[in-house]
Amino acid sequence: MTEAAGYRVWALPGIPEVSPGDDLVALVAEAAGGGGLVDGDVLVVTSKIVSKAEGRVLRADDREAAIEAESVRLVARRGPARIVESRHGFVMAAAGVDASNTPKGTVLLLPEDPDASARRLREGLREALGVDVGVVVTDTFGRPWREGQTDVAVGAAGVQVLEDLRGGADTHGNPLGVTVTAVGDELAAAGELVKGKANGLPVAVVRGLGRHVGGEEEGSARQLVREAADDMFRLGTSEAVREAVAMRRTVREFDGREVDPGSVRRAVDAAVTAPAPHHTTPWRFVLLETAETRTLLLDAMQEAWIADLRADGKSEESIARRVRRGDVLRNAPYLVVPCLVAEGAHDYPDARRSAAEREMFTVAVGAGIQNFLVALAAEQLGSAWVSSTMFCRDVVREVLRLPAEWDPMGAVAVGRPAGEPRPRPPRDGGEFTVVR
């Protein structure tokens, strides 16, 4: 008969209030007593007592300043509440800076290196008690999409923190393609159920899961931190918008990979939410998805451009140089021609108001194109908005078979950037602001 699966978890009593400089190994070993720990046990230790023992207590009248110092990136903000990336790489509230369970006027910081703290505790207990245990150092996190908080692993030693089941099969024989179990976090949560937040029981013991314990190389809470490239929810809403705006750069070199048409269509969906006069919809986006159409248009535009340059008296050498600079459209794997359609524009008897009416529609199309460029950036696509179609509108309309009332407003080259953009010099909005 197969033995029933199970484990036990209990809080370890007898650990006193911890102060800076205390020997945490000695305190835990004394509380465990003789035979209190056996090989394969997992100690689940609240990070607060680790921080206190390591002197990570900071006198701070201003907790906000401590949060700022421990943060490397703002993820989301709502009022005074901040979700940040700590310098450890954890995405969490307030960078783990805690003002609870510490004297007034002080705050607790996370351990300098929680994995190293877990290793020291594990090695010390092996020397003191002769047992091989795993150690998980925990802190409390909120979670996206879920109410409430739970403890997770911020440090680990001697514990398999991730169990990769990919390549196996379930009980019905279905292949497991994405299943990687966060064992470290599950152990942390199990320990918290018996430790509690205010019970004065900072250490729990989990017994019966020895298959996850052992090995000098096993266990690091860093393994539980998702890489930025794989994080689909890296930013809060307002921060995501700001990040996408910052990502929107003029890209003139593309790596040649094809562009997913669905990404461009999603960007168009964002574009047409821009404000427009008189409840109109003055935007049209012509998507050039075939190389044949792109070449046909660009060849015709180039002929018109060369004719204009010759009429301006430019030399053939100068013309050739200028044409080469226009290669950004030819090198792009995807082109979009935004157009202005002034349906619904008001008629005025005088030129002044007629010109203003036209400008209103032009501004609306510009807002739509900016939405489009930002949305492309959010899709991880580079773009360059080039004005050239505005100089040969008749040619563009003829080649693309567009109605006479559609006014091409440039062309947008779209593709995967060939490299990282150059650093953008900072701009202070105050330099462009006038207050009256």
Chunk the chain into consecutive blocks of 10 residues (it has 436) and report each block's average pLDDT, rounded to whole numbers: 73 92 95 86 96 90 85 84 89 88 85 95 94 95 88 94 79 74 94 83 94 76 86 76 77 90 95 94 96 94 90 89 79 95 92 93 95 90 92 95 96 92 84 93
User: How far apart are alpha carbons 223 and 219 in whole angstroms?
Assistant: 8
Decide which of 210, 230, 250 is a domain's last residue.
Answer: 230
Residues 247, 338, single domain; the answer is yes
Which are the contacts of 164, defined by CB distance < 8 A and separation ≥ 6? 180
DSSP states of 283-301 as a string? EEEEEE-SHHHHHHHHHHH
Decide which of 191, 213, 230 is a domain's last residue.
Answer: 230
Is 179 inside a domain boundary?
yes
Is 93 inside a domain boundary?
no
Let me know: does 221 contact 115? Beta carbons within 8 Å. Answer: yes
Residues 223, 261, single domain; the answer is no
Is 132 inside a domain boundary?
yes
Residues 225, 121, single domain; the answer is yes
Q: Give residue 218's pLDDT.
A: 61
Let me know: does 149 contact 164? Beta carbons within 8 Å. Answer: no
Decide which of 230, 251, 273 is a domain's last residue.
Answer: 230
Residues 333, 244, single domain; the answer is yes
Is 245 inside a domain boundary?
yes
Q: Give residue 2's pLDDT.
A: 42
Structural domain containing residue 320: 237-432
Q: Which two tokens stand for residue 107?
A: 């705050």
Residues 256, 330, single domain; the answer is yes
Is 155 inside a domain boundary?
yes
Is 92 inside a domain boundary?
no
Let me know: does 183 contact 165? Beta carbons within 8 Å. Answer: no
Residues 262, 323, single domain; the answer is yes
CATH number at residue 316: 3.40.109.10
Is 83 inside a domain boundary?
no
N-to-C CA span, the chain: 84
Query: What's the helix, strand, coil split of the chain in %, to 5?
Result: 40, 20, 40
CATH number at residue 166: 3.30.1330.100
Closest CA to 159 of 119, 128, 190, 113: 119
Is 72 inside a domain boundary?
no
Residues 379, 259, single domain; the answer is yes
